[in-house]
Amino acid sequence: MKKDLISNDIQLNASGKLVHLLGLEGLSKQHLTHILDVADDLLDAQGNLKKSKALDDMSVANLFFEPSTRTRNTFEIAGKRTSANIINVDLANSATKKNESLLDTMHTLKAMQIDMFVIRHKQSGLPHYVAENIGNVAILNAGDGINAHPTQALLDMLTIRQYKKNFESLSVAIVGDILHSRVAHSGIQALKTLGTKDIRLIAPEGLQYESKNCDTIKCFTDIETGLKDCDVIMVLRLQKERMMEADIPNEQEYFDNYGLTFERLALAKPGAIVMHPGPINRGVEIDSSVADGEQSVILQQVTNGIAVRMAVMEILAGKS
C-alpha cells in the first residue's frame, strides 16, 4: 500500500463536524465512536434494523463508476431505511460519455438538488476531488481505488465492538492481499484510531504492506505464526488478478498457504471471531465450514453494514 498522499482534511468543517466521509485518516476516536453509537441505536435488542425517518426530506444519488451491485444495494437499502429519496445514476450510459466532464455531471446533479453523493470509483482520491470542487453536497466514499473504503472499516469495527468490547487489548490479524486492499487500508486506520495495540498483517511476499513493522503493526508471511492467540481474524477477499504479483500459481496454492481452516483457526484464542467483507471465495481464502461455523460473524457484518451506512448518512445530513 502506497503512502497516502490523499488528504481527508476537507471532511471536517471548522467546528470539527463531519461533513463528508472520505476516509478514516484525520478522524478522532470520538468521531468513530459517535458513528458506531448512532449505528448501534439503529439496531433493536434482537439485532434487527429499525426504520428511520431522518432523511425523509433529502435526496441521495448512488454514483457507482465501478460495478458493484452488492455495495450499491447496501447503500440503496440504507438510504431507503432512512426514508431518503435514492437515485441510482447509471454512469455507464450517462452524459459523461458525451464529453461532459465529470465535474459538470456532479454540478448538474447538485443543481437537481441531490443532497448527498455516494461515490465508488476505481481512481484513488476521486471522491476527495469531487468534495473539493463541489460545495454543499455531502460526499460519501463507497470505495476509491486502493485508497479507502471507510464504511466497510466502520461496519467491521461495529462488529468487533459487539463481540469484543475493548479495542485496546485486542490482537487483530488481517490476512490476504494487504497491499492492494482498500478494506485493509481503512481497517488498519480504524483499529489504530480506536487504540488497538497489536495489529498483525499476514500476506504473501509481494502483497504485503509497504511500511516497516512499527510498535502496533507486525507483518507476517507465515499465517500460523501470525494467527497465534489473536482475538479477531479479518480475512480479505482474494483478487485473482493480483495472484501473479505475489507469485501465486493458482487458487489451491493460495488456500494451502493462506486459506483459513479450522486447524489454523484453532491457533487463535478460543472465541476468536472470523470476519470477511464478502463475497466469499469458498475454498480459496476461507474453508467453507469455517465461513459457516460458530466463530464466523460474516452475516452480522452484512447487517451492521446497513446500520453503519444509515448512521453515516444521518450524520452527514446533520440529523444525528
Positions touching a second copy (CB under 8 A) are 48-49, 51, 57, 59, 67, 69-70, 73-74, 76-77, 80-81, 85, 87, 89-91, 93-95, 98-101, 104-105, 107-114, 278-282, 284, 299-300, 302-303, 305-306
24 within 8 A of 191, measured Cβ to Cβ: no
Least CB distance from residue 284 to a second copy, whole Å? 8
User: Per the annotation, does 228 bind a ligand?
Assistant: no
Task: Name the residue nearer to a second copy (CB basis): 12 or 77.
Answer: 77
Known binding residue 149? Answer is yes
Q: Which is nearer to a second copy, 15 or 99 (CB)?
A: 99
- What's the min distance (Å) between Cβ of 30 and a second copy? 29
Return the C-alpha cell found at 119: 461515490
Q: Is 162 annotated as ligand-binding?
A: no
CA atoms of 69 and 74, how far apart (whole Å): 9
The whole-angstrom separation of Cα 207 and Cα 241 is 12
Q: Which is nearer to a second copy, 160 or 170 (CB)?
A: 160
CA 117/CA 139 separation, integer angstroms: 5
Nine-digit cell string for 230: 489473536
* 196/304 with CB nearer a second copy: 304
Segments in 51-168 forming alpha helices (H): 69-81, 102-111, 126-133, 150-164
Question: Measured on CA atoms in the order 177, 178, 180, 181, is the torsion positive or negative?
Answer: positive
Q: Is 264 annotated as a binding residue?
A: no
Tell whether residue 192 is among the known ligand binding residues: no
Residue with grid cell 485493509, as numbered in its chain: 184
> C-beta of 306: minimal distance to a second copy in Å?
6
**Are 172 and 225 contacting, i.e. CB atoms less than 8 angstroms apart?**
no
| Of residues 48 and 123, the one with the C-beta less far from a second copy | 48
DSSP summary character for residue 243: T
**CB 209, min distance to a second copy, A:** 24
Q: How far is the CB of 46 from a second copy (least distance, A)?
A: 11
